[in-house]
Amino acid sequence: MSIEVRNLNKRFGKTVVCDNLTLDIPSGELVALLGPSGSGKTTLLRIIAGLEVPDSGSVHFHGADATGTDVRERAVGFVFQHYALFGHMSIFENVAFGLRVRPKATRPDDATIRKKVMELLELVQLDWVADRFPHQLSGGQRQRIALARALAVEPKVLLLDEPFGALDAKVRKELRRWLRRLHDEVHVTSVFVTHDQEEAMEVADRIVVMNHGRIEQDGTPDEVYDRPATPFVLQFLGDVNIFHGRAKHEAGGASYVRPHELEIAEAADDQTLAVTLSQALTVGPNTRLEFKRADGGGFLDMELPRADYLRLKDAGRLEADVLLHLRARRLTRFAEGAASETAHDPAAMI
């Protein structure tokens, strides 16, 4: 089921939370709403769910106006960050709940419910807690059960608000992949709220980047990362070095270079910038180098594979007093009112 959002406005007091939002979520896709805290992601999700009423504008489910439709009629499944399970019911019964309360005509028999619930519990790798109660589970386990419960009724739309926000990093990563695989199997149209750009990049088919109640960009993970529409998108999706050099006098202002888009040149030329190493930090397979600009222009970050770092170090090129020359392989600038352009004239960074 596709979701169409049209000219949606919502304010709380003087705060504009949805600023004329228009958005198409194609059927079967997993779309991430990505943005900083307070950008309006949750409010948009709640309006799609029918839990919040917009001031103006509309939400359509597969072309049919659902704006005035009650939340119970929208066939949506929710997993919200603080969506509590029923404390007095076993885990099994929590997952079975949505099926048990169906009208008799569409209610599955006990054996079918049992099979379905156990399959879902296996899917979230918690079949062994079926007889426990919610208070006997960790917060992370409860979220996995909430996901199983949301899926039990085979919703047409699945809405998830920071569902893995409370989990530790490793479990969080596992569940992301699991959600991705699950989505590839069941293809239920899903909208996923997150403020974590890595999570959005890893999980989603499309990313909608939000800021101050507006959509800054809507595109595939590759599109928003490689061709950011605005400086906000570029900076929100990862670390970036900003140069206010010569480019400052041109339309659009700054130039942006990501840490992995810098390289060390063999010799100085008119496209390189002289620096010295100030610190090196290894994070997993990559090493992050912080350089000090020799012209006093501040610091620069560069990221390179650990093996390359070790080679440079062994060659004695990373001593604190050795002058190095950095070159940008790629840089991004924004012309006034236009989308990003990537320049291959790295001199522009100086």
Ligand X SMILES: Nc1ncnc2c1ncn2[C@@H]1O[C@H](COP(=O)(O)OP(=O)(O)OP(=O)(O)O)[C@@H](O)[C@H]1O
Measured from the CB atom, the residue of 39 and 197 that comes closer to ligand X is 39
Instruction: Report, in Å, the least distance between residue 236 CB and ligand X.
Output: 12
Instruction: Report, in Å, the least distance between residue 10 CB and ligand X.
Output: 8
Helix (H) or strand (E) holding 3: strand 3-12
Question: Largest Cα–Cα distance of the chain, in whole Å?
Answer: 79
Chain centroid to Cα 32, Å, comes to: 6
Instruction: Report, in Å, the least distance between residue 160 CB and ligand X.
Output: 12
Instruction: Report, in Å, the least distance between residue 13 CB and ligand X.
Output: 7
What single letter denotes the amino acid at residue 9? Answer: N
Measured from the CB atom, the residue of 14 and 104 that comes closer to ligand X is 14
The rounded distance, in Å, linking the Cα atoms of 123 and 16 is 40
3-state secondary structure of 286: strand
The rounded distance, in Å, linking the Cα atoms of 236 and 225 is 10
DSSP 216-253: EEEE-HHHHHHS-SSHHHHHHTS--EEE-SGGGGSTT-
Measured from the CB atom, the residue of 35 and 221 that comes closer to ligand X is 35
Helix (H) or strand (E) holding 337: none
Instruction: Report, in Å, the least distance between residue 3 CB and ligand X.
Output: 17
Measured from the CB atom, the residue of 40 and 346 that comes closer to ligand X is 40
Could you tell me whether strands 331-334 and 340-343 are parallel, antiparallel, or unpaired per DSSP bridges? antiparallel
Measured from the CB atom, the residue of 67 and 81 that comes closer to ligand X is 81
Instruction: Report, in Å, the least distance between residue 88 CB and ligand X.
Output: 28
The rounded distance, in Å, linking the Cα atoms of 60 and 42 is 18
Closest CA to 79 of 152, 3, 6: 152
3-state secondary structure of 300: strand
Measured from the CB atom, the residue of 48 and 150 that comes closer to ligand X is 48
The rounded distance, in Å, linking the Cα atoms of 138 and 325 is 51
Contact residues: ligand X, CB under 6 A: 12, 15, 17, 35, 37-43, 195
Measured from the CB atom, the residue of 37 and 106 that comes closer to ligand X is 37
Instruction: Report, in Å, the least distance between residue 318 CB and ligand X.
Output: 39
Instruction: Report, in Å, the least distance between residue 203 CB and ligand X.
Output: 16
Tokens of 182: 């699950």
Instruction: Give the dihedral sign, CA 221/226/227/232.
Output: positive
Angle between helices 139-152 and 169-186 (to 10 degrees): 10
Measured from the CB atom, the residue of 43 and 255 that comes closer to ligand X is 43
Measured from the CB atom, the residue of 48 and 182 that comes closer to ligand X is 48
Instruction: Report, in Å, the least distance between residue 193 CB and ligand X.
Output: 6
* Order of strands across the sheet that contains 255-257: 241-243, 255-257, 331-334, 340-343
The rounded distance, in Å, linking the Cα atoms of 231 and 339 is 9
